[in-house]
Amino acid sequence: MIEPGALHIVIPTLIVVCALLVAIFKDLIVAVITLAAMSLLLALEFYLPQAPDVAIAEAGVGAALTITIYVIAIRATKRM
């Protein structure tokens, strides 16, 4: 089993990597999916120090609602 202290090093590192990948990707859908992964990692980081209410709000708003709005907006525009 992974030690909780190690998770507090690995998860923020993965959040930063996801943020950099969002800025690098040219395809908007791939960038939005990476943004959803970053939001879920952030929700996990909130859950670890016993803040499940904040984690659920982050997962619900950050990963679900915001990503859905982004995907709808991208699909409504003309892609070149």
Size of the chain, expressed as the number of residues it contains: 80
- Could you list the residue range(s) of the whole structural domain that residue 69 is in? 4-76
**What's the pTM value of the predicted model, to 2 decimals?**
0.85
Provide the number of structural domains found in the chain.
1
Chain-centroid distance of CA 44 in Å reads 10
Q: Convert the pLDDT of each residue in 2-53 to its tens digit.
A: 777 888 899 999 999 999 999 999 999 999 999 999 999 999 998 888 888 8
Between CA 32 and CA 68 the distance in angstroms is 9
Instruction: With H, G, I as helix, E, B as strand and everything else as coil, classify residue 79.
Output: coil
